[in-house]
Structures are given as C-alpha cells and as structure tokens.
Amino acid sequence: MLMHQISDWDDAYANMANIPGGEDYPAKWAAQAKRFRQEYRATGRAEFDVEYGAGERNTFDLFHPDGTPKGLIVFVHGGFWRAFDKSSWSHLAAGPLAHGYSIALPSYTLCPDIRIAGITEEVGEAVTAAAGRVGGAIHLAGHSAGGHLVTRMVCRNTPLPPDVIERIRLTVSISGVHDLRPLMRTEMNDTLNIDRMEALTESPALLEPVGDTRLICWVGGGERAEFLRQNALLASIWKGLGAATVDVEEPDRHHFNVVEGLQEADHPLTCALCG
C-alpha cells in the first residue's frame, strides 16, 4: 500500500496556477456576466443591488423568469472568502431561469474585513431577504467557498430562521470546501485568519445537517485532489447522519469551468439543481 502525505498545502488548493489559461477566467466571467445583465435588464424581470444588510457589499441581484416562479434559487459565489462579488456570475442564472426559477446572487463582505463566521451570518441574511421576495421552494447552490457557505445554511447551527429552513428542498455544493482545517496550513490563512475554534464551528463536515437535508456534492473530475476529497467527504459524512446525499465527479471539468453548466438549461448540473 502506497501512503501519501501532503507536503505543500498551498499547491494543494492552488487552482489558477494548475489550470491552463487560469489567469484568463476572471475577465471572461466578468464580461459574460456584464453582457447577461445588460440583456436581461431589457426584459424588466431583474432587480439589481437589493439591500439585505448594513454592509457595503450586503446586496444581491435577483433575476425572475417569464411568468410565476416555481421557486427560488440562491447562488453563492466563491473566491476563498476573499475575492469576487455577485457581478462576475450573473450569466450562471440562465439555466435556472429557463427552468422557471427566480435566482438571487448575493455579494458579501470579504476577508480580512470579516471572519468566515461573519460571512456565514451575512449569507444567512441574504437568503432570508431573497426568500421574502420569492415564494415557493428554495434551492441553494454555491461554488468553492460558496459551496461551504450554502452547506452551512443547512447545518443545525444555521443562521436561517425556521420558516426559511422549512422551504429549502435541495442544496448543491459545487467544488465546495467543507472542512476548513487544512486551510489553516496555507498562506491564504494570513487573510482568512481561521483558528481551530472557527474551523470546528464553521466546517460543515464537522457539523450535523438539519432534518430532511438533500445534498448534491458536485466536482470536476479534473480538479485538484483536495477538492475531490472535500467533495466526497461531506457527502459521505452527512449520509451517515441521515441526509440524502450524492457526490458527482463531472468528467473533463476543472475548478473554473465546472460551474459553466449552469448557463445551459439542459446541462446535467442545471437539471440536478432545478430538479
């Protein structure tokens, strides 16, 4: 049996340096998102910069389908809790909108101006505010750090009120980070400031899901080994705690293009989220 120990934790979580052309993706996302917002604004079915809290970044954009929404999807962006905002991801609303869902995309305060526990509280406020504007079932989705944040919403120590929790039918974590302890070994922790107590109280893999949780953990088959491990980890642990879970490795996808399926109505990721 060959045993393997991780010696370079920074490399283990480094996506841009290990994806060909990785440095080009942020500009690509921003351009696609801007074009989508411009086109959708003309439909009159979008609300921009809806405030959900007192912070400068405490706003979300809300896109509505043609006709009465089937329900609400909230998509939470990634960036290791220290980068990006809602403006880079608007185009990912296209697939869910085609299925008849409204979709909210919130921004949140970034580290080091806040702790991860504080971001959890802000995302809870964003989900609650969006739920107050759209009726019906709620589905949560998040990418990378966003995958952590949406799974935190369905932990027993959730910041969500009971009436919102009761409406959540599905949570989809896309390349999520569910155990924060390894990140304490990385240089990025100079910004994140995760300590042992926060890792224990903010890692979904170390917490229990609320009753009747349905969870899809979705990851690109070509991702870093740590993201494959983190993906399978939560699905396995929560299944043992009574949740209905599945973990999916989508072939030929890496950490940056694994979310692109949400642009397409018939893509398996979109269908899984909207199912």
The domain limits of the chain are: 42-274
| Token reading at 203 | 């890692």
pLDDT in tens, 214-224: 999 999 999 99
| Residue 275: band (very low, low, confident or very high) from pLDDT cuts 50, 70, 90 | confident
> Residue 4's pLDDT is what?
84
Q: Which residue is it, tokens 């006709």?
A: 67
| Percent of the chain residues topping a pLDDT of 70 | 100
pLDDT in tens, 46-92: 999 999 999 999 999 999 999 999 999 999 999 999 999 999 999 99
Residue 2 has pLDDT above 80, yes or no: no
Alpha-carbon dihedral of residues 70, 267, 129, 245, nearest 10 degrees?
Answer: 100
Instruction: List, in sequence order, the alpha helices (H) in 42-175.
Output: 94-98, 116-131, 145-152, 162-165
Instruction: Tell me if 258 sits within 8 A of 250, measured CB to CB.
Output: yes
In the CATH scheme, what architecture does the domain 42-274 have?
A: 3-Layer(aba) Sandwich (3.40)
